[in-house]
Amino acid sequence: MTKIITTALIYFTIAFTSVVAADLDKINKEFYKVETDNYSIATTVSKKFAYRIADHMEEIHKEYRRRLSNIFGEEDVEKFRVVVFDKQSNYLRALGDKVRGTAGIFMSNEQLLAGFVGKRPPSALFKTLYHEGFHQFLFHYIGPNCPIWLNEGLAQYFSEATWTGNGYRVGDIPPHRIYTLKREWENKQWMSLEKLLSLTNSEWMGMVEDQSPRSSLIYNQTWLFVHFLIDGANGKYRDNLEEYLEDIADDEDSYEAFTDHFSANFTALRNTLYKYLNTLEPSPKFMCMKNMGIISRLLKFFIEKGGADIDTLENIEDVHELFVNSGWKMQMKDGTTLTNRKEDAIEALFHCPLDKSDKEKSYKFRVHKDSGLPQITCPQHPGQARIISRFFNNKKTGTLDFTISEQLPTKH
Ligand SMILES: [Zn+2]
């Protein structure tokens, strides 16, 4: 279950549930259907969108298999079912009020993956589908006994997949995860691995529903753990991970299977994870998104409070001028402060780490014709993917807002 926590814009997720059932007949709309090798897709959005979902699911499916190839061999299986609603109201009508606050869900009893687009950018929906799609995939092969830490850790690992123009790349590293994990380590907040490994589904869901501070920590810790098991030490532990998953599929005790295939020295393992964390560098894509977030926050501030006139901004140079020509101070999420005097730091904001040209600014700025509001784009990403910050008037709060998303090319 991918949970929407709007204030923090974090998608919390819960593995899967058997208590929700879908009744598609309650929706008085046409379902557009597409069948692919592995998926059966239905959506109320459009035929074109059904093909687009199908493309994404087929590609991410390859990646699920590639990373854990020994256990998820090629075999004829029933198709995985996916349904995507246009609006949240239809999602709620078909699935019931229990799923309120979630953006997507895998229903193990029906083996059905469901989500909705709503007002979110499509990339946010796809991220949800990669995540929930992995739960669906794993459930098919492993059954209901996969421990929650591993199920969620793996699903998060795959939800950070990046389109390269030629398939997906997984293992990307968002800076906020590194920053949060380091801070929580310093505050001695990390959960012991013994505890993490033995968490039950209901204990996990309890923490998420309470929105306790530990809930974001368990997601980050399990993400790191899985990242280490798949990519750490040049993939040395991947075989152990696969053997461990096979034992779980054979109904062996997951805790004992863990100590068999990895280690029973949890303190040493925890220290190894922390050491691994310190070797990780944030991925360029996420650094670009971070830059764009800071530029957008500043621009929002100047338009709303600083008296900046959108009509006088023609290109990204103008935005840069605006930032350096008046005094301001901005508190950053990592605890540092950015001011108009830190020219090098401001310069760096306008540069995407993927931009290999010698241009000073990687981003493009324009005022959208219809909305009259700014839009900032980074065209530097592989496979014609783009990072876009779109401004909009938030009707609920009455203020200017923006969303940052990844726009992926599509065959259809
Ligand atoms: Zn970029």
pLDDT in tens, 181-197: 999 999 999 999 999 99
The share of the chain scoring above pLDDT 90, in percent, equals 50
Q: Which of 114-118, 167-171, 243-247, 340-344 shows the lowest per-residue confidence on average (mean pLDDT)?
A: 167-171
pTM attached to this predicted model:
0.82
- Cα(316) to centroid of ligand 1, in Å? 14
Architecture of domain 2-277: Orthogonal Bundle (1.10)
Residue 174 Cα to ligand 1 middle (Å): 14
Residue 350 CA to ligand 1 center (angstroms) comes to 9
Report how far residue 57's alpha carbon sits from residue 41's, in angstroms, rounded to the nearest whole number.
9
The residue among 326 and 212 whose pLDDT is bigger is: 326
Task: Show Cβ contacts of residue 132 under 8 Å, excluding neighbours closer than 6 positions.
Answer: 1, 2, 13, 104, 105, 106, 113, 115, 155
Residue 338, pLDDT score = 92
Structure tokens at 103: 């953006």
Q: How far is the CA of 296 from the centre of ligand 1 (A)?
A: 14
Give residue 409 CA to ligand 1 midpoint distance, Å: 15
Instruction: Write down the pLDDT at residue 364.
Output: 97
Tell me, what's the pLDDT at 350?
97
Cα-to-centroid distance, 165 and ligand 1 (Å): 15
- Which distant-in-sequence residues (6+ apart) come within 8 Å of 224 by Cβ? 177, 181, 273, 276, 277
Ligand 1 centre to CA of 124 (Å) is 17
Mean pLDDT, the chain, integer:
87
User: Is pLDDT above 90 for 17?
Assistant: no
- The string of pLDDT tens digits covering residues 220-250 is 999 999 999 999 988 889 889 989 998 998 8
Tell me the helices (H) and strands (E) count for the chain, helix number first: 14, 15
Q: Give the residue extent of every domain in the chain.
A: 2-277, 284-407
How far apart are the CA of 64 and the centre of ligand 1, in A? 26
> Which range has the worst mean pLDDT, 44-48, 76-80, 286-290, 400-404?
76-80
How confident is the model over 87-91, as a mean pLDDT? 92
Picking from 162, 173, 129, 158, the residue whose alpha carbon sits closest to that of residue 68 is: 158
Q: What pLDDT does residue 5 have?
A: 39
Residues, the chain, total? 412
Is residue 161 very low, low, confident or very high in pLDDT (cuts 50, 70, 90)?
confident
Higher pLDDT, 129 or 108: 129
Beta-sheet pairing, 102-107 with 80-85 = unpaired
Using the mean position of ligand 1's atoms as its centre, give its distance from the Cα of residue 163 in Å. Answer: 13
pLDDT-based confidence at residue 12 (cuts at 50, 70, 90): very low
Continuous H helices in 313-362: 316-324, 343-349
Which ranges in 68-109 belong to alpha helices (H)? Answer: 88-95
6 vs 246, residue with greater confidence: 246
Check whether 311 has a pLDDT greater than 70: yes
Distance 160 CA to ligand 1 centre (A): 16
Average pLDDT over residues 9-14: 43
Looking at residue 281, what is its pLDDT?
93
Q: Is 309 helix (H, G, I), strand (E, B) or coil?
A: coil
Structure tokens, 197: 């490994």
Long-range contacts of residues 347-351, Cβ cutoff 8 Å, at least 24 apart: 348/291, 349/291, 349/294, 349/295, 350/291, 350/295, 350/316, 350/320, 351/291
- As a whole number, mean pLDDT of residues 96-123 equals 86
pLDDT at 71: 64
The answer on pLDDT for 136 being more than 50 is yes
In the prediction, which pLDDT does 70 show?
62
Q: 338-373 pLDDT, tens per residue?
A: 999 999 999 999 999 999 998 889 999 999 988 899
Our CA angle for 252, 255, 256, nearest 5°, is 65
Residue 45 carries which side chain, given as an amino acid letter?
V
Q: What number is the average pLDDT over the span 266-290?
A: 94
Contact 174, 286 (CB under 8 A): yes
Helix (H, G, I), strand (E, B) or coil at 370: coil
Reference 169, options 408, 363, 349; nearest CA is 408
User: What distance in angstroms lies between residue 290's CA and the mean position of ligand 1's atoms?
Assistant: 10
- pLDDT at residue 331 tops 80: yes
pLDDT, residue 98, reads: 79
Ligand 1 centroid to residue 387 C-alpha, Å: 6
| C-alpha 107 – ligand 1 centre gap (Å) | 36
Residue 15 contacts residue 54 (beta carbons within 8 Å): no
Ligand 1 center–CA 286 separation, angstroms: 8
Tokens standing for residue 108: 């193990």
Across 384-412, average pLDDT: 85
* Residue found under tokens 């241009």: 359
Alpha-helical (H) ranges within 210-357 are 213-231, 238-249, 254-261, 266-277, 284-304, 316-324, 343-349
- Alpha-carbon separation of residue 125 from 186, 247, 271, 358, 387 (angstroms): 34, 33, 35, 35, 15
Please give the Cα distance from 343 to 323 (Å, whole number): 10
Radius of gyration over alpha carbons of the chain, in Å?
22
* 21 pLDDT above the threshold of 80: no
| Cβ–Cβ under 8 Å, residues 144 and 108 | yes
C-alpha span between 357 and 274 (Å, rounded) = 36
Q: Which token pair is 304?
A: 């709303």
CB-based contacts of 308, cutoff 8 Å, min separation 6:
299, 302, 322
Residue 273 has pLDDT above 90, yes or no: yes
Percent of residues, the chain, with pLDDT higher than 70? 92
Residue 106, strand partner residues = 113
Distance 292 CA to ligand 1 centre (A): 8
pLDDT exceeds cutoff 80 at 164: no
Average pLDDT over residues 375-396: 90
Mean pLDDT confidence for 236-265? 90
- Name the residue with tokens 């012991």: 192
pLDDT for the residue 9: 34
Write down the pLDDT at residue 66: 81
pLDDT at 97 over 50: yes
Detail the DSSP E strand segments found in 67-111. 80-85, 102-107
Helix (H) or strand (E) holding 36: none
Q: From the CA of 365, how far away is ligand 1's center (Å)?
A: 13
